[in-house]
């Protein structure tokens, strides 16, 4: 198991939900670099700073161990982050591509790299007042699969306020950055993505997850996830509630019919929580459950 540095144990990551739901394709090493960068952001920050991250911290190895070929892996990962573009799309179909970092540099004789987020990332990391997901760094630090990072965040966005989330199979593939030919056979997708991420999340994080498959004409069309508190987790992380924005009391949204309130597209609702989503929730779980989620 990777070794989390003591100075990072109590760090927490906070990022906007639009970024959580962005389409991205990162490696596990790149995810860990971004996690370590994110953990160094404070709620008082109004600008990004260049941050130094030790190679061993990125690789998750103990102080006395040798980096070996790990430096090359970290360098390639950091260089690749400089070329990464994240695509964010809203419910109306509007999309925008953002650059992730603007600085990635190092020296083969030094034991750290220097990185900096692009200013385009400010709306997703700095001065967030709502519609964000937060969790302790320790919940993701030990992941070895890039898919574990992504699945964890996508589920943690809801948990613990909501303990289930459903994905269209093809949409989940897009969110995970999978090319059409990558794990094209569902058996391969299940073995390398669903099963691996479930095992790592259940072993290391604050969540225990499970999933069921929905089929149509023998083909998998949806993946239904359930989440609950993981009492057996190796991680020391606490359960931190994700802030899914709720209707403001000032607008008396709870006093109005739920679907009328959603149709009004009040800004207190996150983008994904639209009228169609609400109607599906009513069909599957009942109106009382929807009222609980938005009250």
pLDDT in tens, 167-198: 999 999 999 999 999 999 999 999 999 999 99
**Is residue 243, in this structure, part of any structural domain at all?**
no
Q: Based on the domain organization, do 219 and 73 belong to the same domain?
A: yes
The arithmetic mean of pLDDT across residues 200-218, rounded, is 96
Q: Based on the domain organization, do 260 and 224 belong to the same domain?
A: no
Q: Based on the domain organization, do 267 and 167 belong to the same domain?
A: no
**Is residue 244, in this structure, part of any structural domain at all?**
no
Q: Find the length of the chain.
A: 295
Q: Based on the domain organization, do 121 and 255 belong to the same domain?
A: no
Q: Based on the domain organization, do 143 and 211 belong to the same domain?
A: yes
Task: Look at the chain and report how many structural domains it folds into.
Answer: 2
Q: Which of 175, 196, 229 is the last residue of a domain?
A: 229
Positive or negative: CA dihedral 94, 16, 137, 5: positive
Q: Based on the domain organization, do 124 and 51 belong to the same domain?
A: yes
Is the predicted pLDDT of residue 258 greater than 80, yes or no?
no
Q: Based on the domain organization, do 159 and 258 belong to the same domain?
A: no
Closest CA to 201 of 164, 234, 170: 234
Q: Based on the domain organization, do 187 and 93 belong to the same domain?
A: yes
Is the predicted pLDDT of residue 121 greater than 70, yes or no?
yes
pLDDT at 238: 43
Positive or negative: CA dihedral 8, 104, 152, 183: negative
Q: Based on the domain organization, do 221 and 264 belong to the same domain?
A: no
DSSP-assigned beta bridge partners for residue 225: 165, 211
pLDDT band at 3 (very low <50, low <70, confident <90, very high): low
Is the predicted pLDDT of residue 262 greater than 80, yes or no?
no
pLDDT at 61: 81
Mean pLDDT of the chain: 83
**Is residue 236, in this structure, part of any structural domain at all?**
no
Whole-angstrom distance, CA of residue 272 vs CA of residue 275: 9
Domain that holds residue 43: 6-229
Question: What is the b/e burial string over 124-145, where b = at least 16 CB atoms within 10 angstroms of the residue's CB?
Answer: bbbebeebbbebbbbbbbbbeb
Whole-angstrom distance, CA of residue 160 vs CA of residue 147: 21
Q: Which of 229, 258, 280 is the last residue of a domain?
A: 229
Looking up residue 149, the CATH number of its domain turns out to be 1.10.10.10
Q: Based on the domain organization, do 283 and 143 belong to the same domain?
A: no
Count Cβ atoms below 10 Å from residue 244 Cβ, excluding itself: 21
pLDDT in tens, 59-72: 988 767 788 888 99
DSSP-assigned beta bridge partners for residue 227: 209
Q: Based on the domain organization, do 135 and 264 belong to the same domain?
A: no
Of residues 149 and 263, more confidence is placed in 149
Q: Based on the domain organization, do 58 and 186 belong to the same domain?
A: yes
Whole-angstrom distance, CA of residue 29 vs CA of residue 258: 43
Alpha-carbon torsion, ordered 294, 198, 24, 183, to 10 deg: -130
Beta strand 85-89 pairing with 95-99:
antiparallel
Q: Which of 178, 200, 229 is the last residue of a domain?
A: 229
pLDDT band at 289 (very low <50, low <70, confident <90, very high): very low
pLDDT in tens, 11-65: 999 999 999 999 889 999 999 999 999 999 998 999 999 999 999 999 988 767 7
Q: Give the rounded percent of residues in the chain with a pLDDT score beyond 90.
A: 64
**Is residue 242, in this structure, part of any structural domain at all?**
no
Whole-angstrom distance, CA of residue 67 vs CA of residue 156: 32
pLDDT at 242: 46
Does 208 sit behind a cis peptide bond, omega within 30 degrees of 0 on the bond before it?
no
pLDDT at 132: 95
pLDDT at 257: 46
**Is residue 235, in this structure, part of any structural domain at all?**
no
**Is residue 259, in this structure, part of any structural domain at all?**
yes
**Is residue 121, in this structure, part of any structural domain at all?**
yes
pLDDT band at 233 (very low <50, low <70, confident <90, very high): low
Q: Count the alpha carbons within 13 Å of 162 in the hemisphere toward its beta carbon.
A: 25
**Is residue 70, in this structure, part of any structural domain at all?**
yes
């Amino acid at each position: 198991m990777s070794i989390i540095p003591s100075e990072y144990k109590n760090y927490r990551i906070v990022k906007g939900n639009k970024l959580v739901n962005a389409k991205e394709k990162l490696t596990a090493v790149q995810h860990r670099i971004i996690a370590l960068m994110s953990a160094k952001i404070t709620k008082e920050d109004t600008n990004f700073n260049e941050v130094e991250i030790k190679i061993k911290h990125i690789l998750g190895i103990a102080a006395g161990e040798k980096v070996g070929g790990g430096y090359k892996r970290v360098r390639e990962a950091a260089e690749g982050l400089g070329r990464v573009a994240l695509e964010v799309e809203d419910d109306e179909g509007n999309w925008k591509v953002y650059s992730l970092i603007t600085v990635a540099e190092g020296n083969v004789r030094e034991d750290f790299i220097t990185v900096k987020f692009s200013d385009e990332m400010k709306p997703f990391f700095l001065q967030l007042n709502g519609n964000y997901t937060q969790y302790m760094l320790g919940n993701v630090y030990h992941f070895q699969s890039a898919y574990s990072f992504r699945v964890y965040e996508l589920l943690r966005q809801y948990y613990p306020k909501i303990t289930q989330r459903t994905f269209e199979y093809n949409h989940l593939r897009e969110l995970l950055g999978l090319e059409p030919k990558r794990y094209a056979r569902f058996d391969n997708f299940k073995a390398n993505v669903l099963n691996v991420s479930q095992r790592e999340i259940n072993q290391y994080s604050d969540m225990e997850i499970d999933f069921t498959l929905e089929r149509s004409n023998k083909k998998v069309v949806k993946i239904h996830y359930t989440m609950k508190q993981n009492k057996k987790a190796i991680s020391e992380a606490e359960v931190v509630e994700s802030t899914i924005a709720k209707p403001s009391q000032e607008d008396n949204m709870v006093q109005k019919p739920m679907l009328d309130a959603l149709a009004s597209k009040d800004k207190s609702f996150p983008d994904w929580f639209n009228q169609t989503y609400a109607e599906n929730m009513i069909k599957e779980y009942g109106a009382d459950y929807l009222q609980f989620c938005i009250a």
